Structure 1
Amino acid sequence: MKIELMMFLIGGGALVAGVVVGMLLRQQISKSRHAAARRDAAQIVEDGRKEAEAIRKEAVLQAKDTVLQAKAEWEAELRELRREIQGQEKRLQQREENLDRKTTQLETRMEELEKRDRNLQQRQVQLQQGEQELEGRRAEQARLLEQISGMSREEAKQQLIRAMESEARHDAAKSIKQIEDEARESADKKAKEILALAIQRYAGDFVAEKTVSVVPLPADEMKGRIIGREGRNIRAIEAATGIDLIIDDTPEAVIISGFNPVRREVARLSLERLIQDGRIHPSRIEEVVKKAEEEVEQAIREAGEQATFDVGVHGIHPEIIKLLGRLRYRTSYGQNVLQHSIEVAFLCGIMASELGMNVKQAKRAGLLHDIGKAVDHEIEGSHAVIGADLARKYGESPKIVHALAAHHEDEKPETVLAILTQAADALSGARPGARREMLETYVKRLQDLERIGTSFPGCNSCYAIQAGREIRVMVSSDDVSDAQSLILAKDIAKKIESEMTYPGQIKVNVIRETRAVEYAR
């Protein structure tokens, strides 16, 4: 037991000694570490200080370099600015010298001008004196002439003017008469053209269409069905056809209005079929309009082909045939344009035959002369120019193209074919009954013709005859001579051309009659 106790005590003492020794070693190690940490911290601080000093020195050097560089740039700019200022000073000095020279020159010129002005004033005084002397001499000579002739100056002047005017008019009338006589006797071609212009007896059928179409209704209740709920049916019809529908108080009728005659025909056919069918709703409207468009296109092709067959012209491009067919639904002054084109083709052929020209070519030009009217509401420009462009596009000959472009003077006529087309177009439009005309316009034109005819001196009366195609002016034989009557007819025709608008041509007849009456007793 003692031994164990001693062993325990020895073990406990050793343990305590170990603990104490450990603590001492730990304190020694801690002190060593603290010393090393202090040394490391001091070294880091020293290194930081040295690095900061180096950075400071480098920054100072960079700042000095920047200052030196900026100073050098500023000095260079200053030198450049000084050079520019010196150059400007030199230029200003040169300008001052030039201004001084110009000032000197101006002063010299002013002195010269003043001298010239003084000389001119002296000459003007001399001229005034000379004019006064000359005027005095003229007055003296005029007084002597008046004493010798027994007439005043104004009377002599008027008598001289009347004599010269009468002589000049008489000579001019003689020359005009002689030229016209020579033309009638020698110009066979002119005679044939005048003969061709007399072919006004041709009168083919024509169809007069209006710019609006009227569709009859079986009853007024149908108007409500056409309009539809909240207007959906009428909007569908207008959207599908591009034509306006006018539904007003007109009993049992609907008006279709539009500038495009083909669309107006499609709308008319569609509306008639919808009314007959009774089923009017948007889907049915689209179906019926589509079928109507196909039928109208077929009718257009057939009308164009029939026109070419009737005239006897073949080999025309299919697109031009379609344009001809569209003219079936186009009117001009109430005259159907397709029928008008057929008339012009026949007239061109007749006149070409009289003149010994190519009849087929003349008919072709006459038939195609108004094809521009088929699309003139879609393309800007004159229908003659549009038609010529279309004919050129689809392979027509240059002669045909020129005849189409020149038939309304959009181009100067350079061929006989172009002149024939013009003449035939005028004949067809001027044919009595071809074009519709309001009564007021017709009466006013006759009144204007008679007013113009009696507005010239020496005209006693004027009568418009042949539906305004001819006027007869009665003149006094004492006031107007035979030679003056020729000039009077031309003056009246020119005044009619400048003041009036009319289809075709107007013939002016000046009639002078001399009656010698004596009695045998």
Structure 2
Amino acid sequence: MNIEKRIREVFSIEPISIIIGIVCLIVGAIGGVSYRKKIAEAKVGLAEERATKIVEDSAKEAEARKKEILLEAKEDSIRTKNELEKEVRDRRNELQRNERRMIQKEESLDRKSEALEKKDEQMSKKLEQLDKQKEEAKILHEKQLLELERISGLTTEEAKTYILATVENDVKHEAAMLIKEVENKAKLEADRRSREIVANAIQRCAVDHVAETTVSVVQLPNDEMKGRIIGREGRNIRALETLTGIELIIDDTPEAVILSGFDPVRREIARIALEKLIVDGRVHPSRIEEMVEKAKKEVETIIRDEGESATFDTGVNGLHPELVRLLGKLKYRTSYGQNVLKHSMEVSHLTGLLAAELGVDVTMAKRAGLLHDIGKSIDHEMEGSHVSIGVGLLKRYKENQLIINAVEAHHGDVEPQSVIAVLVQAADAISAARPGARRETLESYIKRLQKLEEIAEGFKGVEKSFAIQAGRELRIMVLSDQVTDAGMTILAREVAKRIEEELEYPGQIKVNIIRETRAVDYAK
């Protein structure tokens, strides 16, 4: 019974213990999960706090960076403003200086104009006096002839025959002297012509050119740009010189680089490329090559536009496209300081006006005038004179034979075969001879005229001298009692020689001496 009772007690207690154990396990599991959840929540809160702090720190840093950028931008704007103000001041000062120079030049021109007007008035009065004296001399001459015929008993024709027979030997001697003089003059002309050819060759090829025709100046924003143009170990400047064929001279000249070269087109390409590089700010060999290519295309466009504009302005149509392009290249070519494209257009207009006056084909005349110096567009690239080069170009592009002859004859190399060829010669001379057209400004032109008159008046027996025909002729009035007829020839030669020694001038100057002979007698 006890055993049975014990068994019953065991079996009655065990289920309760098991249930309690299970309940404890469940409670423990729930507590563990709750504890882990609290730990996870704490970690999430800590992470959120850190994220919030990071965001706040980033906002503060961004605000500080924003203030720093704004400050830098403000400093840049102030610096740019100062630079612009300095440039404006410099421009204003330059304009004021130019205005003062213009006022001075205007005053000088006014004075010179007044002097020229006075000279014109004096000349007019003297011409009137000369006309009166000429009439008086004519009347006296007729009276003398009548008196001589009465005294000698010979008619005028008989007297002439007698005089001619008397002076025949003297005339032969003078003819021999004249022939010798002509030979000497021909030698002098040949010498002058040879010097002109050499001078022209020097202008095209020599090292020492006039600065205005071989040099371009590029302004720099500051002197620091010089170092960037030179580059590390000179690689940038070497690349630019190699690509353009132009020499860059970087010296002590403030904020400027000098481009030196004989080919004006290449020099223009170098100038445009360098200016683009300065504006861009990135100066390295690959960028230089890119800018040089862009500059070449830009200059080629300018050349074609200038050629088309020239044909449009002169009314010359139907030219071969290559001839139009070569005309545009003349924009960058000068002759004695005169722009060849402008000169060609001027010759075209003048030839057309002359042709219209003479009833010749105006269109053909203008065409010949426009193309007369076409050879100068490539004369630095080929051997030969610009005339022979131009003739070759016109033959290549099937131009009219009349045009070709006008171009070939405009410097007298061949005989002109038409009126148009002669008109081109005349128009070329007019365009080159007008005041200030070649090599000199109006001021130097007036100085040359004054120097001509000073040279003439420095000789004994000269009463007055006048430089006329735009300085192409020097007319000298001499005193008849101090200068004989034979002495006039010697004086003319001495004046011409003195002009050659002391003056520089395009073309030639004619020395014209005038001597007045007076016969005076008194009736008693």
TM range (shorter): 0.5 to 0.7
- For residues 495 and 399 of structure 2, what CA distance do their matches in structure 1 show? 38
Which structure ranks higher in relative contact order (CA pairs < 8 Å, sequence separation ≥ 6)?
1
In the alignment, structure 1 residue 422 sits paired with structure 2 residue 415: no
Distance 2:500 2:512 in 1: 18
| Number of the residue aligned with 2:13 | none
Q: Distance in 1 between matches of 2:358 and 2:482?
A: 43
Does the CA-based 8 Å contact 1:344-1:425 persist in structure 2? Answer: yes
Structure-2 residue corresponding to 1:343 = 346
Checking the alignment, whether the CA contact within 8 Å between 1:406 and 1:413 is kept in structure 2 is yes
User: Which residue of structure 2 aligns with residue 165 of structure 1?
Assistant: 170
Matches of 1:396 and 1:495, distance apart in 2: 44
Residue identity opposite 2:298 in structure 1: E
2 CA distance for matches of 1:223 and 1:383? 39
Q: Shift in Å at residue 509 of structure 1?
A: 4.0
Could you list the per-position Cα deviations for residues 138-167 of structure 1 after superposition, in whole angstroms to 9, with x for gaps in the alignment?
A: xxxxxxxxxxxxxxxxxxxxxx99884379
Shift of 1:334: 1.1
What is the aligned counterpart of 1:477 among 461, 475, 480?
Answer: 480
Within 5 A, what are the aligned runs for 1:315-330?
315-330=318-333
**Matches of 2:243 and 2:464, distance apart in 1:** 57
- Structure 1 Cα separation of the partners of residues 518 and 403 of structure 2: 55
SS of structure 2 residue aligned to 1:259? coil
What SS does the aligned partner of 2:376 have?
helix
Q: Map 1:1-12 to 2 at 5 A.
A: none
What are the residue-to-residue correspondences of 1:113-132 with 2, within 5 Å?
none
Helix, strand or coil: the match of 2:213?
coil
Partner of 2:471: 468
SS at structure 2 position matched to 1:231 = helix
Q: Which deviates more from structure 2 when the two are superposed, residues 396-405 or residues 429-438?
A: 429-438
Alpha-carbon distance in structure 1 between the residues aligned to 2:453 and 2:168: 32
- For the pair 1:244 / 2:242, whether they are aligned, the reply is no
Matched residue, 1:43: none
Q: Which amino acid aligns with 1:348?
A: T
How large is the RMSD of aligned CA atoms in angstroms?
4.0
Q: In 2, Cα distance between the equivalents of 1:402 and 1:161? A: 50
Q: Deviations over 1:498-517 (max 9, x none)?
A: 99984356454433334567
Which sections of structure 1, spanning at least 5 residues, go unmatched?
1-159, 174-207
Contact 1:462–1:471 (CA<8 Å) still a contact in 2? no
Picking from 261, 283, 304, the partner of 2:286 is 283
**Which whole-Å deviations, capped at 9, do the CAs of 1:271-301 have from their partners, x for residues lacking one?**
0010011000000001111011111101100
- Paired letter, 2:384: G
Shift of 1:357: 0.6
* Whole-Å separation in 2 of the counterparts to 1:510 and 1:292: 57
Distance 1:472 1:385 in 2: 37
2: CA distance, partners of 1:370 / 1:329:
13
Matched, 1:332 2:330: no
- Rate the CA distance shift 1:328–1:219 in 2: closer, same or farther, 3 A: same
Looking at structure 1, the residues matched to 307 and 494 of structure 2 have their Cα atoms a distance apart, in angstroms, of: 44
Helix, strand or coil at the partner of 2:309: helix
Unaligned runs of 5+ in 2: 1-164, 179-210
How many matched pairs? 324
Residue 397 (1) aligns with residue 403 (2):
no
| Secondary structure of 2:412 counterpart | coil
CA distance in 2, matches of 1:345, 1:251: 43
In structure 2, the CA distance between the partners of 1:504 and 1:267, relative to structure 1 (3 Å rule), is same
**Structure number with bigger Rg:** 1
Partner of 1:72: none
How far off its partner does 1:403 sit? 1.0
3-state DSSP class of the match of 2:317? coil
- Return the alpha-carbon distance in structure 2 between the equivalents of residues 230 and 354 of structure 1: 66
In the alignment, is the contact (CA less than 8 A) between 1:449 and 1:496 conserved in 2? no
- Please list, as runs of the form range in 1=range in 2, the aligned pairs for 1:52-67 lying within 5 A after superposition: none
Q: Which residue of 1 aligns with 2:56?
A: none
Whole-angstrom distance in 2 between the partners of 1:313 and 1:479: 58
* 1:295 partnered with 2:298: yes
User: 1:419 offset after TM fit, Å?
Assistant: 1.6
Aligned residue identity for 2:229: I
**Which residue among 493, 507, 510 is the counterpart of 2:513?**
510
Tell me if structure 1 keeps the 8 A contact 2:452–2:499: no
The amino acid across from 2:269 in the alignment is V
Which amino acid in structure 1 is aligned with residue 415 of structure 2?
Answer: K
Q: What is the aligned partner in structure 1 of residue 162 from structure 2?
A: none
Paired residue type of 1:216 = Q
Cα distance in 1 for residues equivalent to 2:344 and 2:219:
31
CA contact (8 A) 1:429 1:504 kept: no
User: Secondary structure in 2 aligned to 1:411?
Assistant: coil
